[in-house]
Amino acid sequence: MNRFLAGKCILVFMSILFFQSCAREEIRYSPEEFAAAGVRESPLVRVLIIEKSDRVDIDSEVLFFSTENPAGNVGKKFGGRGRYTVAGGGGYVRLIRDGRLITRTERLFVNSSSKGLILVNGKAYRGSLQLSSRNDSGVSVINFIGVDDYLKGVLPVEIGYLDSGSYEAYRAQAIASRSYALSKLEKKKKDNYDLRATIMDQVYKGVAGETPRSTQAVVETEGLVAMWKGQPIKAYYSSCCGGHTADIRLSWPWKTHFPYLYGIRDARTEKSERSFCRGSAHFRWSVSWPGDKLLKILQKSLKKEVDGTVAPFRNLVDLRTGGFAPDGRVKYLDVITDTGKYRITGDRIRWVLRPESHNGAILRSTLFKINVKRKRGKVVRVEILGGGNGHGVGMCQTGTIRMAKLGYSAEEIILHYYPGVVIKEIY
């Protein structure tokens, strides 16, 4: 049994154990209730949908049961349709209905008693939920869900709402997103979840994210996973690669360097001039800063991205880029100030050279050329001509959509962006 299958079995086994431990007490659950809790053929994933909130509203035809509270009241069950509030504090979550405290516990499991959905702050989710107190305050919510139901709420949010001519792009995204999600089950974690519902992993919006066409793609590709050496691949993807996907060794030197993420030319052939993603609005772009504005941005952003301390500085002396990768991505950026020189490597450069507009936005990519204008030993203007949008590692989504329109199959698209992998039906 390979590690992945072992991990999958352990997860399913643990889920069964958990539900059995709940069932050992006075409550007995029917097989339908187990099934509704998310124990199914599709491997279970645990998705953090709310990291921390003072209160969470839960609404559905629901069953509640608590576990692991200090009094040992394992398996208490609270039933009934209706609206409940879960509040956190002091290391506990409190279940409240009509202003009345029903129970206080460390962890609360919520399961729809039928095929109904569970509403969390008005948003519908499939599967079941675990609510717990995080860091002694607030409530965190984890959605336990079969990976395919999870993907239904990921696909259109991640690749957009596609027409029928781009359908293979949905299928490719389904295989990539499924592979990525399952690759996260491998890891031994201190966290009690596998995936975040944000760009940190994949954006997941529950039922609100679903569309009929993307759901069809998830169903059609069920069980199909891109594998490398018997493991689901780390199928990273981003919006637009600018013509060449990034080499993980240069963009994310701190991550594991799987060879299927060394970067490829995003075109029919290595020599072809027409990139698949050339139609993107982000294929080529420019951004510029007056020196004093960039100084202010760097005074904030640099200390977060540099290993070690940054001495306070009042002048920006120069910016130098170097070590261009074969695709043109910048390997490092040296920021030279009146108090020191700081080197930022790989993708972290995007968090340092933040654009002036758009609060919180980062530089679109590290595929750029920089032009620094200096006067009397001081930077007065910086211009950047860039290409692509996102980290650029793995599948290029704009390229994927174009390939689909050109008649490539999902399998061909996956093998183009992740060379050397195999696609297997693993469940």
> Per DSSP, what are the bridge partners of residue 143?
47, 129
Closer CB to Zn ion, 146 or 394, in the complex: 394
How far apart are CB 391 and Zn ion at their closest, in Å? Answer: 12
**210 to 152, 226, 327: CA distances (angstroms):** 5, 23, 36
| Residue from 162, 241, 267, 410 binding Zn ion (CB under 5 A) | 241
| Residue from 206, 291, 386, 399 binding Zn ion (CB under 5 A) | 399
Burial of 31 (0-12, 13-18, 19+ CB in 10 A): exposed
Distance separating alpha carbons of residues 202 and 154, to the nearest angstrom:
7
Structure tokens given for 209? 């994210």
Closer CB to Zn ion, 138 or 399, in the complex: 399
Q: Which stretch binds Zn ion (CB under 5 A): 36-44, 93-101, 234-242, 339-347?
A: 234-242
Should residue 263 be labelled a site residue for Zn ion when binding is judged by CB under 5 A?
no
Binding pattern for the stretch 265-284 against Zn ion, x by CB under 5 A and - elsewhere: -x----------x-------
| Residue from 56, 396, 401, 414 binding Zn ion (CB under 5 A) | 396
Should residue 158 be labelled a site residue for Zn ion when binding is judged by CB under 5 A?
no
Should residue 423 be labelled a site residue for Zn ion when binding is judged by CB under 5 A?
no
Tell me if 58 sits within 8 A of 120, measured CB to CB. Answer: yes
How far apart are CB 348 and Zn ion at their closest, in Å? Answer: 22
**174 to 100, 137, 283: CA distances (angstroms):** 44, 36, 24
How far apart are CB 196 and Zn ion at their closest, in Å? Answer: 25
How far apart are CB 387 and Zn ion at their closest, in Å? Answer: 9
Closer CB to Zn ion, 175 or 403, in the complex: 403
**427 to 213, 223, 224, 283: CA distances (angstroms):** 22, 5, 8, 38
Which residue, chain included where needed, has tokens 């506990």?
A: 92
Should residue 7 be labelled a site residue for Zn ion when binding is judged by CB under 5 A?
no
> Per DSSP, what are the bridge partners of residue 321?
333
Give the total of residues touching Zn ion (CB under 5 A). 5
Closer CB to Zn ion, 162 or 218, in the complex: 162
Should residue 403 be labelled a site residue for Zn ion when binding is judged by CB under 5 A?
no
Distance separating alpha carbons of residues 271 and 169, to the nearest angstrom:
24
C-alpha closest to that of 85 among 97, 77, 93, 101: 97
Which residue, chain included where needed, has tokens 């469940």?
A: 427
**Rounded to the nearest 10 degrees, what angle do helices 167-183 and 212-220 cross at?**
60
Structure tokens given for 146? 């079969």
Which residues from 275-334 bind Zn ion, rule CB under 5 A?
277
How far apart are CB 204 and Zn ion at their closest, in Å? Answer: 24
How far apart are CB 225 and Zn ion at their closest, in Å? Answer: 23
Distance separating alpha carbons of residues 152 and 174, to the nearest angstrom:
9
How far apart are CB 278 and Zn ion at their closest, in Å? Answer: 8
How far apart are CB 274 and Zn ion at their closest, in Å? Answer: 11
**Which residues of this chain interact with Zn ion, rule CB under 5 A?**
241, 266, 277, 396, 399
